[in-house]
Structure 1
Amino acid sequence: MLNYNKTLPDGAPGWVVSEDQFSSLALAKCEAVMSLGNGYMGLRSATEESYVGEKRNLFVNGTFNRFDELEVSELPNAADLTKLDIRIDGKRFTLEQGEVKAYSRSLNLRDAELVRTFIWNNGEGKELEFTFRRFVSLDSLHVIGLKMEVKVLRGPVNLSVSSGIDAQVSNSGSQHFHEGEKRIYDKTYLELIQTTTESKVDFAIGASHRLKVDGQLVEVAPAMEIDRRIVAVGYSLRLEEGQSLTFEKVATVYTSRDKEFGDNYSLPAMREVALAALKTAQESGYDALFSSHTAAWAKVWENYGITIESSNPFDLLGVRFAHYHLVVMTPAHDNRMGIGAKGLSGEGYKGHSFWDTEIFILPFYIYSNPEIARSLLEYRYLGLEGARNKAKENGFAGAMYPWEAAWPSDGEVTPVWGAVDIVTGEQTKIWSGFIEQHITSDIAYAVWHYFRSTGDTDFMEKYGYEIIFDTAIFWASRLEWNEALGRYEINEVVGPDEYKEHVDNNAFTNYMAHFNIELAMDYYQELEAQSPELFARYDELLNLKEAHKVWESKLNLIYLPQPNEDLIIPQDDTYLQKEIIDLTPYKDQEKVGSIFNDYNLDQVGNLQVSKQADIMMLFFLLENKFSPEVKRANYQYYEEKTLHDSSLSLSTHSILASDFGDKELAYRLFHRATEIDLGPKVHSSDAGIHSASLGGIWECAVMGFAGVRMLDGKLHLAPKLPEHWDRLSFPLYWQGKRLEVNITPQEISITNVTGGSIQLIVHGKQQEVHESATFANTSTL
């Protein structure tokens, strides 16, 4: 369905994702995969003309709202700015009629522009060439640019275009806005003011248009329309054969949650700012705005640029695609906002943040842009309010982070009910919000990972220590004493393998809770000895001395499942006693979750089958705690039982396969990860792209094939490139320094751009880099 072999107009390869044939029955794939954004807002790439089944989504980060008290908070779908009602000789234009030639819709990853071109014959002797362009500005976060160019190849034609701001949209039926106020200034500047129903977030959306015929500005008196939830203008003109129309639209989006308005927000002031910005954008025009936008993206690629020389060009495209979406989904501008599991590309998971951010996305920013990594962790610090409330509501102490997070103070926002049970016909209860609790230690781990990699003591003193201490207080209160066995357990949980609910002693959960408490004890001792004033502050806030007594009494009694005689660590108390079945039909599946065509969740819970990496994730995060023999034995045991029904899973298994030296398997799993969104499955991305998988793709390349790890506070590098890769180059930040790493099968070159010296371990040997250094890549010699 998608073509990855096209080049940019200047001939540059590896930057274009394109669709060469239009199908109104497969709209969602390209809508999501080719979505645009800048971290402030995300725009799903529906076509300008309308089709049944389309999803027109515009999301502004952080603007969560609840439709009513029976539903959870979600990002509201803001008014649509992309739809055009185009009529040729009085008939509505659609690709479902007439003849279409030379069709192409492409996402230019380098410049972050969506371009669609084709030649259309109306079946009545008229033929027109269309080009549509669109971008969401990275230079000016509030600006969207659209352009339509129409050339009459055989005519003449009477052409009309209606365009505006259409708020007749919803989130799959849930309407999040009051109708609002509509205005048109000077027959040019369209304005819609709306307010969310529960969270009371104001939106100010503006749009304006400009028309050129054969490159010359023309004044066309518009037909103006203001109706229920819509404000629009229409333009009509006659084009002779050979003439061209250029129709430009610029739009601006502002909300009362924008940081720039601060505590002194007022709606009149925001309206004034928004209208002035719209007028400035209108004066600049599409081309000038786009030029500034491309310059901003050029800086992104300069900072994040990765090079892969592979016999399969798709490898580089896949990593660039991941980089692109990581940028467009991340709210780098505002630490009050997180990253949604579908980014800003669709309604899936309602814009909520999961452990996806800390485990799969944050490493990319820790090693590529530490400032953004810090901002994402500050979001979790701001979420301590909701985490403490959740702990209290569940009868625990400390901070118990929500499985799904929205606005920081919202607390738990996981829906209670999900898909249908195929056996009972009843709606399935979603237990994650109640008992999938490992996210609390995942966040503590992320804080530790960030600190050890960056040395950012300012972050730790202001935010990090508090997160680690309060999450450890939670785990100490969560532990359950088993008198018969003389140990503390963690029962009735969901681990990373979400096909096992209400299990006792999930190994991942227990080990990570132990890690969390042990880490808090280490930092307790460090602050007590080295920073008495800071220690006193946290002692007063969290009663640390009493908490430490509890940690000390419980830590060594926490049950940590150990390898059995076959070196297998039980995923939970009963996993290894469950029935084993042939999983072949579900391993090679067209759509994830196909096992639920034959079993319900309770039945799957009684089989040795895993949704995603569980024990394997433990080996990746806490790899120093397990021997290579144990890790390999468990990998072989659990890999064949893991369906990878979650997009989070493949990257972890790929990285571990790299560690074991299985290059072929590691690459195969990496390639499968790159195809989660870009692959041939037509409906894989209908609800939006897969954020965690995109972070995982980068992890496969840098933490897997390049072997980059932070172990015991030290930077390690142990590359094992795929056999058909001749080079892998990428930037890497470590302890405030920027390194340029270049790896071939024969050698590893490191340039210390920042200056000074840096210590690291290359293939197990301590090394020092001043300006630059080259080492033998001994793993491949």
Structure 2
Amino acid sequence: MNQDYIIPDPWSIIEEGFDKERVKSSESLFSLGNGAMGQRANFEESYSGDTFQGSYIAGVYYPDKTRVGWWKNGYPEYFAKVLNAPNWIGIDLKIDGVFLDLNTCKKVANFKRQLNMKEGWYRRSFVATMPNDLEVAFEVTRFLSLDLDETGAIQLNLQVLNSDTEVILTPYLDGGIKNMDSNWDDKFWEITEVESEGNRAFIQSNTNKTNFAVCTFMHNEVYLDGSPTEASPIAIKNETSVAHSYSQHVKKDTTLTIIKYGGYTVDRNHPKNQLQHAANSVLDQASQLGFEELLRKQKEAWAQIWEMSDITIEGDVKAQQGIRFNIFQLNQTYLGKDSRLNIGPKGFTGEKYGGSTYWDTEAYCLPFYMATKNQEVGWNLLKYRYNHLQKAIENAEKLGFSDGAALYPMVTMNGEECHNEWEITFEEIHRNGAIAYAIYNYTRYTGDYSYIPQMGLEVLVGIARFWRQRVNFSQEKQQYVMLGVTGPNEYENNVNNNWYTNYLAKWCIDYTLEQLKKVEEEYPKDYARIVDKTKISPTETKDWVRVSGNLYFPYSEKYEVFLQQDGFLDKEMIKVEDLDKSERPINQKWSWDRILRSPYIKQADVLQGFYFFEDHFSQEELKRHFDFYEPFTVHESSLSPCVHSVQAAKLGRMEQAYTFYLRTSRLDLDDYNKEVEEGLHITSMAGTWMSIVEGFGGMRMMDGQLSFTPRIPTGWDSYSFKINFRNQIITANVTRDITSFQISGDADLYIMVHGKRLKLIPGETVMA
């Protein structure tokens, strides 16, 4: 049974009624972010119940020493932890000597949370009866500014409904924070200074080992019925925290308000010795603007984001809510402003997985950002990998590869591998191919080839060298094979000749050879520089051609399908539909040994290859492979339903495509995997966008041209989406009867719709 307490709404995530059992889930679902920092939706006031406190700063991490049963050569030295940062949102409330704490209140009525995705703010309200029988009405609004992305703002309103009383407001900063996922209970932060200046306070701290310097700050303002009070704070400091205590006599039904600005300045953006000065500067800007003006600017900034990235659905409010939630969280996590940053699987919503970058970015997120942002955002994502090329070469060297072979990490913060499960760290090497595929995907979509001669060709050469060294020649088969790998299906480890990995390796080598030739002919200066730097030679490339032309691919003549790996048909081939429902999900019910021997597939594997390279295969081949593999797929990865949705739509199976879409779009809202309290599945959210634009909309790049094959799910009246294609904005609107297109820009554009050529003219609506 999936959770169902989130109220369907096209533009908001809404929860009504207080339930202690879902506090941690809601802390994830109502999370906030602005690309530079983020936080779970923890209560501002004290809460003694079960909670998962989490605040995070982009790019700030800690190298937690690897914890394994025994050491293996080549293991990463550390597991990079997304750091739980000092908490700035806290505001304790003591009313007539008793702390307001929803866990201890006699009654909580009218409890409501709202995350307004259209405008980028979060609000929580309730009426509570406290242990001392005082009845209080509470409302708090919070947002993280997109304009001033080092700060956020909180406005908390309190009324005591049945008595005049004393209220003590105590906003605070807390630096004594630990990660829930610490391997050794290490102390991640060292606090160097705790200061209070009037209504402002600061905690300066450094991360241990990585030595990031951070200043956490706050500025507080107190009002009675909208008028500033004269209350001066009493500063309370210790080694790890600083608080300001404001005491106020409050008459019955009077509104007591505190406005709190807080956030972080980091030495990634400022000199180490100027962090407090920078904090004062951003607080000056925020306080001068004021809460309402800052909120107005927030609404404007989000309006601009939605103008380009919104997808509208008529006739299905849960589907509409799902896609907007996914688009909202992707934009909260990454806005493409900083090429030093990337997209973590949990974003700013939790600590699970560590690291900031998986292959998810290149395989799933890049298409979303290319189509909904300006071209520089895709460029920055690719530049991130180029900046880490030397680290990728060092990662490969640690595993015994040489001569410039590059293995990009499974998980990383700075380019260095920091994932420590051997069957993934050493063997899930297909992630290397996703980097090369992203380069191909970027150039074909944007038409901007300049990345390859400037940066990308060096990356491709390193990756091709890795694949050449990773295969070996089988005397038995008289072909090159790839042994001991883990494909995208992590329910098979240490297998031989995973088809997807082998196919990707061949494609990477062939694509690199093509780009070498093109750069040599068209960018001779860049080519000379790259040859000098990489020492690539005709002898080496001839060797690549030999390997690529003689790579082995497991195939079943009986089923006429490529086999996921050599031994796949040796398994007991019981389909998922024939499993007892009490055995699901198998990753929670079965031993790992049993899972590894089963035919069950965590996510698209062979079908991932058919998704990437669908133009290499016929519709009949896709149908045959989909019908063979999907019945064995348990979809216990967040990345699974979207690929299957796209392919089901291509096969015209709209009911199945819609089912997969709903699962990917509401994966967290409905908590399909029973783990949302740990954080959201940010990178898989891009797959929801793919399901609509590439699945239902059928958008593809074909011979340098956009092509669409629009379809519509049965329950929908219409849907629409926008695409930024080479600096021209295309709007597609699909109804049950007709599809129309509009284009903004200066030039006409030809597209293909259902195989027919269509001319889009700026200012005109064209029917397909």
Tell me whether 1:248 sits opposite 2:296 in the alignment.
Answer: no
Write the distance in 2 (CA, Å) between the matches of 1:359 and 1:481. Answer: 29
Q: Is the CA contact (8 Å cut-off) linking 2:191 and 2:240 kept in structure 1?
A: yes
Matches within 5 A, 1:670-749: 670-679=661-670, 683-749=674-740
The whole-number CA distance in structure 1 between the counterparts of 2:395 and 2:289 is 49
Asked if the contact 1:338/1:406 (under 8 Å) is kept, the reply is no
Select between 729-738 and 353-362 the one with higher mean Cα deviation: 729-738
Query: Do the aligned partners of 1:40 and 1:60 also contact (CA within 8 Å) in 2?
Result: yes
Any conservation in 2 of the 1:131–1:150 contact (CA below 8 Å)? Answer: yes
Q: CA-to-partner distance for each residue in 1:727-777, whole Å, 9 max, x for gaps? A: 221111223322122222332222221121323221123333333676665
Q: Distance in 2 between matches of 1:574 and 1:93?
A: 61
1:92 corresponds to which letter in structure 2? F
Deviation at 1:521? Answer: 1.1
Name the structure 2 match of 1:405: 411
The offset of 1:681, in angstroms, is 5.3
Q: Distance in 2 between matches of 1:671 and 1:281?
A: 40
For 1:427, the equivalent position in structure 2 comes to none
Q: CA deviation at 1:326?
A: 0.5
Q: CA deviation at 1:304?
A: 1.2
Confirm whether residue 270 of structure 1 aligns to residue 275 of structure 2: yes
Quick one: which of 442, 453, 459 aligns to 1:461? 453
Secondary structure at 1:469 match in 2: helix
Q: Which amino acid aligns with 2:286?
A: A
Match of 1:191 among 189, 202, 211: 202
In 2, Cα distance between the equivalents of 1:46 and 1:499? Answer: 35
1:667 aligns with 2:673: no
Q: Which moved more, 1:661-670 or 1:711-720?
A: 711-720
Asked whether the equivalents of residues 43 and 136 of structure 1 are also in contact (C-alpha less than 8 Å), the reply is no
Cα shift at 1:673 = 1.2
User: Do the aligned residues in 2 keep the contact of 1:15 with 1:108 (CA within 8 Å)?
Assistant: yes
SS in structure 2 at match of 1:605: helix
Name the Cα RMSD after superposition: 2.0
- In structure 2, the partner of 1:52 is 49
CA contact (8 A) 2:410 2:428 kept: no
**In 2: Cα distance, 1:699 partner to 1:341 partner:** 17
Which residue number corresponds to residue 193 of structure 2?
Answer: 181
Say whether residues 1:19 and 2:27 are aligned partners.
no
> Which whole-Å CA distance do the structure 1 matches of 2:384 and 2:399 have between them?
23
C-alpha distance after superposition, 1:82-115 (max 9, x if no partner):
2222112111111232211111011111111110
Once the two structures are superposed, residues 250-277 of structure 1 have per-residue CA deviations (whole angstroms, 9 ceiling, x without a partner) of 013111112xx3xxx3x22232122222
What residue is the counterpart of 2:289 in the other structure? Answer: 284
The number of residues matched between the two structures is 747
Partner residue, 1:136: 144
Asked if the contact 1:740–1:752 (Cα under 8 Å) also holds between the matched residues in 2, the reply is yes
Instruction: Report if aligned partners of 2:35, 2:332 keep a CA contact under 8 Å in 1.
Output: yes
Is 1:26–1:683's contact at 8 Å kept on the other side of the alignment?
no
Alignment partner, residue 421 of structure 1: none
Alpha-carbon offset, residue 169 of structure 1? 1.1
- Structure 2 vs 1, CA of residues 215 and 333 (structure 1 numbering), >3 Å: closer, same or farther? same
The code of the aligned residue for 1:64 comes to Y
Using a 3 Å threshold, how does the CA distance of structure 1 residues 507 and 110 change in structure 2: closer, same or farther? Answer: same
Per the TM alignment, residue 438 of structure 1 is displaced from its structure 2 partner at its CA by 0.3
TM superposition shift of 1:342: 0.6
Q: Which secondary structure does the structure 2 equivalent of 1:743 belong to?
A: strand
CA contact 1:120–1:128 (8 Å) conserved in 2: yes
- Give the 3 Å change call, closer, same or farther, for CA 69–667 of structure 1 in structure 2: closer
Q: 1:368 to 1:507 in 2, by over 3 A?
A: same
TM-superposed CA distance for 1:464, in Å, is 2.0
Q: Deviations over 1:8-35 (max 9, x none)?
A: xxxxx51111111222222221111110
Pick closer, same or farther for the CA change 1:57–1:104 going to 2, 3 Å.
Answer: same
In the alignment, which residue of structure 1 is the partner of 2:242?
231
- Matched residue, 2:320: 316
CA distance in 2, matches of 1:248, 1:294: 18
For each residue in 1:287-337, what CA deviation from the matched residue of structure 2 results, as whole angstroms up to 9, or x when unmatched?
A: 22212111111111112122211x221111111111100001115221011
Is 1:626 equivalent to 2:617 in the alignment?
Answer: yes
Q: Which residue of 1 aligns with 2:27?
A: 31
Deviation at 1:712, TM superposition (A): 4.3
Is 1:534 matched with 2:526?
yes
Q: For residue 221 of structure 1, report the CA deviation from its aligned partner.
A: 2.3
Letter in 1 for 2:559: D
TM-superposition CA deviations, 1:413-468 (whole Å, max 9, x none): 1034xxxxxxxxxxxxx421111000111110011001100012232222222222
Counterpart CA distance in 2 for 1:414 and 1:622 is: 28
* Amino acid aligned to 2:166: N
Deviations 1:524-568 (A, max 9, x none): 121222222222121112223343222122111111334523222
In structure 2, how many angstroms separate the alpha carbons of the residues matched to 1:619 and 1:636? 13
Q: CA deviation at 1:622?
A: 0.5
Residue 503 in structure 1 maps to residue 495 in structure 2:
yes
Counterpart residue type for residue 81 of structure 1 = W
Query: Which amino acid is 2:236 matched to?
Result: E
Give the secondary-structure state (helix, strand or coil) at the position aligned to 1:138: coil
Q: Deviations over 1:146-183 (max 9, x none)?
A: 11101222111221121111012111144311122100
Please state how far the C-alpha of 1:68 moved relative to its aligned partner.
4.3
For 2:703 and 2:558, the matched residues in 1 are separated by 29
8 Å CA contact 1:739, 1:753 repeated in 2? yes
User: 1:634: how far off?
Assistant: 1.6
Report the Cα distance in structure 2 between the residues aligned to 1:123 and 1:161, rounded to whole angstroms.
Answer: 18
CA separation in 1, counterparts of 2:759 and 2:750? 5
Correspondent of 1:559 among 527, 531, 552: 552
Question: Closer, same or farther in 2 for the Cα pair 1:507/1:477, shift >3 Å?
Answer: same
1: CA distance, partners of 2:175 / 2:579:
42
Cα deviations by residue, 1:562-603 (Å, 9 ceiling, x for unpaired): 45232222100001211123534868579xx73245532222
Q: Distance in 2 between matches of 1:126 and 1:52?
A: 20
CA contact (8 A) 1:61 1:331 kept: no
Change (3 A) 1:738 1:27: same
Q: Provide structure 2 residue ranges, at least 5 long, that are not aligned to the other structure.
A: 68-77
Q: Which amino acid aligns with 1:464?
A: G
5+ residue gaps, structure 1, are 7-12, 417-429
- Please tell me whether residue 98 in structure 1 is matched to residue 106 in structure 2: yes
Aligned residue in 1 for 2:441: 449
Does 2:74 align with 1:83? no
Whole-angstrom CA distance in 2 between matches of 1:5 and 1:759: 42
Q: Which residue of 2 aligns with 1:213?
A: 224
**Which residue of 1 is the match for residue 70 of structure 2?**
none
Q: Using a 3 Å threshold, how does the CA distance of structure 1 residues 247 and 586 change in structure 2: closer, same or farther?
A: farther
Distance 1:297 1:776, change over 3 A: closer
Corresponding residue number in structure 1 for 2:428? 436
Question: In structure 2, the residue corresponding to 1:766 is in which secondary structure?
Answer: strand
Whether the 8 Å CA contact 2:89–2:262 is kept in 1: the answer is: no
TM-score (norm 2): 0.94
* Residue from 362, 365, 369 that aligns with 1:365: 369
- Structure 2 Cα separation of the partners of residues 126 and 193 of structure 1: 38
Q: Which residue of 2 aligns with 1:153?
A: 161
1:577 equivalent in structure 2: 570
| SS of the residue 1:179 aligns to | strand
For residue 425 of structure 1, what is the aligned residue in structure 2? none
Q: Are the aligned partners of 1:331 and 1:339 in contact in 2 as well (CA < 8 Å)? A: no
One-letter amino acid of the structure 2 residue matched with residue 356 of structure 1:
D
C-alpha change, 1:275 and 1:442, in structure 2 (3 Å) is same
